[in-house]
Structure 1
Amino acid sequence: MNEEPIYFDFASTTPVNEEVYDAMSPYFLSYYGNASSSTHKQGEMASIAVEKAKNQVSKLINCDENEVFFTSGSTESIKLAISRVFYNSLDAGNHIITSKAEHKAVLDTCEDLERVGARITYLDVDDNGKLDTSLLEDSIGSDTILVALMHVNNETGVIADIGDIGTICKKHNVLFFTDATQSYGKLPLNFQDENIDLLCFNAHKIYGPKGIGGLLVKSNAKTKSGVSVKHLIDSVNLGTQNVPGIVGLGKASEVAMFKMETNYQKIQKLNTHLQQKLRQSKLGIVNAVSANRSPFILNIQLANQDAESFILGNKNVLSVSTGSACNSRLLEQSHVLKSMGLSKEKADRSIRVSFGAMTTQTQLNKLIKAIRSANS
């Protein structure tokens, strides 16, 4: 029997943790009530499970339980957050600020809103994928209603200074929404202490199930029109709650909280080792090498082979990607690498390697061997 390819695409999705699977299972077969059906025992048990999951999320990220809203995932959270703020701020402004390196879900939502009258500023990033916060502040005007900037870039792992960004937004009375899909459960996040008004995250990036995510909305967040953002999100009917998925997200959050430091240290060591081998053997260049980056993601520009040839040539051995899973089927240059000024040739030689809790040194050695063979 052939061995499964070694998985290096954890930024795309992760396997479900056994503890998470075990926590979810009873809510498929035994505790199958609708969490909104408060008139009977099954519904009551489902409702209790949802509240427990909110508590687990709140402990991981330091938010109030009533600030947690469950969605189908980050894409829905992004569209919900940005569009609800826009449509309920029109008497105060129509200007939204984001960057050219954002996830496609943010860019697509902004482009949709442009068609109905939104004015969008797409900020540049430098050759390391970093945003100049002075450009952000200079772009804010009296009609600016929202800043939407991600915490960790999903292709390069570049970490944005959300502390500075939040401070600038608060100074100018502008709402700040951050996509924390690649940092939730992996890097320390404190929703209460940071000046973040809205934050989205996903279960399947932290060994939870697919099809469930969340949106945090700060209780005191208001649009420039004075409308409670929490009320705006609360008023949206998101349908019957996915109780097994919510239970899975809650358990995955709990596990992530206890394993965060251990996983971070382990993966940082693996990431550093790979970078050293790439540099010593001249096998490739790390994109955004000078930026503050998450160790969970490494974007590598191969020395002598294009990414597509490398991926297809090793598909029975390794599972890596060229970038966002939401956009990888499109044969076009990465918009993130393009925003950093990489030529099409350099971008086409770039692969994304992302590490997980079960990645081993032995597996990493096989990846290094494959990269060395590709460059020989």
Structure 2
Amino acid sequence: MRDRPIYLDGHATTQVDERVIKAMMPYFTEYFGNPSSNAHVYGWEAQAGVKKARDAIASAINAEPREIIFTSGATEANNLAIKGVAEAYFQKGRHIITVETEHRAVIEPCEYLQSLGFEITFLPVEKNGLLNLELLTKTIREDTILVSVMTANNEIGVIQDIEKIGAICRENEVIFHTDSAQAIGKIPLDVQKMNVDLMSFTAHKIHGIKGIGALYIRAKNPRVNIASQIQGGGQERGYRSGTLCTPQIVGFAEAINIALKEMEQENQRQKNLRDYLWQELKQLDGIYLNGDLNQRLAGNLNISVEGVNGSALLLALQSQIAVSSGSACSSTSTKPSHVLKALGYSDELARASLRFGIGRFNTFEEIKETASFTLQTIKTLRR
């Protein structure tokens, strides 16, 4: 019996890498100044740390440093992007397109705008979780001001064809936003090649700390305008006022640097672990893979289990495996996953799902133990 369960909820959050903590520590103690203070060395030291981090984060997505705006996380970045575009462009049009399988941090800001008189189109997805690009093209209208499609899904891990979606938006002169919270540091991202105008991401999905994220805002070809949502001191080019937390920003950049450096090797390792887990689990009848197997994050496996109660399954697993049935933001809800419902699943099958999020610190021994215990648990519950 383990003292603590095996952690396999890496899409909810990840263990902070010690190298990230080490990079942050001097900015809590020695370089503690306010990066907005221009009159003395303490401010200059903090400014230097922020500048270096901003440069590194911009480079990671092929952006310019001035296009990176720091936020408290991807949720705030999504809200700033969606509400900011709506407020800045409402005279041009009030139609926004997004997808049924988006994170609640995109869906709920859209629903809020809907209550203010904007028209929101929530596009369905194919059974594999991918967006039909012909449908997207047909849905764009003259008054469409924004399309928001997440890069990699937080539940089923499927990766959308962002480059093609971006090209469609660019051709139709529509602003394109993508929530890349689950994608940054896991797959290559290039805002120029992908024709992305706004991109949200965060640190804690890639072994950084919670409470820090960023929004990329295109500055040219074309320049994108958004209305700020937090006013005050004018920090972050006026888009997002508030004193910057230098240690978090430095740690964010370090997390991205590590992830990019180890991406190829780590993706292959995680894919091997995921594929082993799937091969073991699918030996049982009535176990379904959710989402496209090939066009998905290396560390993601999402399954639905026939013939068991979803709550009972999670309860039976939790002593040995820390795993979820869907988004951490919805983990207390008794409603079935809106993502799996969008894939056409029944309420019962959508509730009886497991999301395995494999991370940097998981071992083959852990995955082997997970497969064995999960199979044993499903058999027991079915009996």
Q: Same fold (TM over 0.5)?
A: yes
- 1:316-354 CA distance string (max 9 Å, x none): 211000111111111111010011110011111111011
Distance in 2 between residues matched to 1:250 and 1:319, nearest whole Å? 28
**Residues paired across the two proteins, number:** 372
SS for the counterpart of 1:280 is: coil
Counterpart residue number, 2:156: 156
Counterpart residue number, 2:143: 143
Matched to 1:343, the amino acid is S
Any stretches of 5+ residues in structure 2 without a counterpart?
Answer: 229-235
- 1:79-120 CA distance string (max 9 Å, x none): 000111101111110110001110001000000001111110
Q: Quick check: 1:229 aligned with 2:225?
A: yes
Counterpart residue number, 2:350: 347
Structure 1 counterpart of 2:250, from 244, 247, 250 = 247
Counterpart residue number, 2:49: 49
- TM-score between both structures, scaled by the size of structure 2: 0.94
Matched to 2:241, the amino acid is L
Q: Quick check: 1:320 aligned with 2:323?
A: yes
Distance in 2 between residues matched to 1:373 and 1:277, nearest whole Å? 12
The within-5 A match list for 1:1-376 is 3-220=3-220, 228-229=224-225, 234-282=237-285, 284-289=287-292, 292-376=295-379
How far did 1:306 drift? 2.7
Cα distance, 1:81–1:192 mapped onto 2, change above 3 Å? same
Q: Contact conserved, 2:313 with 2:378, CA < 8 A, in 1?
A: no
Matched to 1:208, the amino acid is G
Distance in 2 between residues matched to 1:30 and 1:200, nearest whole Å? 31
Distance in 2 between residues matched to 1:196 and 1:328, nearest whole Å? 31
Distance in 2 between residues matched to 1:18 and 1:364, nearest whole Å? 23
Q: Contact conserved, 1:303 with 1:375, CA < 8 A, in 2?
A: no
Q: Contact conserved, 1:71 with 1:238, CA < 8 A, in 2?
A: no
How far did 1:291 drift? 6.0
Give the alignment's Cα RMSD to 1 decimal: 1.6
Deviates most, 285-294 or 134-143: 285-294
Q: Contact conserved, 1:129 with 1:288, CA < 8 A, in 2?
A: yes
Distance in 2 between residues matched to 1:174 and 1:301, nearest whole Å? 37
How far did 1:190 drift? 1.1
Distance in 2 between residues matched to 1:364 and 1:167, nearest whole Å? 39
Q: Contact conserved, 1:58 with 1:65, CA < 8 A, in 2?
A: yes
How far did 1:230 drift? 6.7
Matched to 2:120, the amino acid is I
How far did 1:73 drift? 0.2
Distance in 2 between residues matched to 1:237 and 1:291, nearest whole Å? 38
Distance in 1 between residues matched to 2:106 and 2:53, nearest whole Å? 26
Distance in 1 between residues matched to 2:244 and 2:292, nearest whole Å? 42
Distance in 1 between residues matched to 2:90 and 2:267, nearest whole Å? 43
- 1:38-83 CA distance string (max 9 Å, x none): 1111111001100111122123222111111110000000000011
Distance in 2 between residues matched to 1:20 and 1:71, nearest whole Å? 18
SS for the counterpart of 2:89 is: coil
SS for the counterpart of 2:282 is: helix
Matched to 1:229, the amino acid is N
SS for the counterpart of 1:200 is: strand
SS for the counterpart of 1:151 is: coil
- 1:283-327 CA distance string (max 9 Å, x none): 722112456211221111124423321221121211000111111
Q: Contact conserved, 1:175 with 1:221, CA < 8 A, in 2?
A: no
Q: Contact conserved, 1:149 with 1:179, CA < 8 A, in 2?
A: yes
Q: Contact conserved, 1:24 with 1:247, CA < 8 A, in 2?
A: yes
Distance in 1 between residues matched to 2:166 and 2:32, nearest whole Å? 41
SS for the counterpart of 2:330 is: coil
Distance in 1 between residues matched to 2:124 and 2:272, nearest whole Å? 31
Q: Contact conserved, 2:317 with 2:374, CA < 8 A, in 1?
A: no
% identical aligned pairs: 39
SS for the counterpart of 2:22 is: helix
Distance in 2 between residues matched to 1:280 and 1:220, nearest whole Å? 52
Q: Contact conserved, 2:23 with 2:250, CA < 8 A, in 1?
A: yes
Deviates most, 25-34 or 150-159: 25-34
Cα distance, 1:290–1:185 mapped onto 2, change above 3 Å? closer
Distance in 1 between residues matched to 2:85 and 2:174, nearest whole Å? 11
Distance in 1 between residues matched to 2:305 and 2:375, nearest whole Å? 10
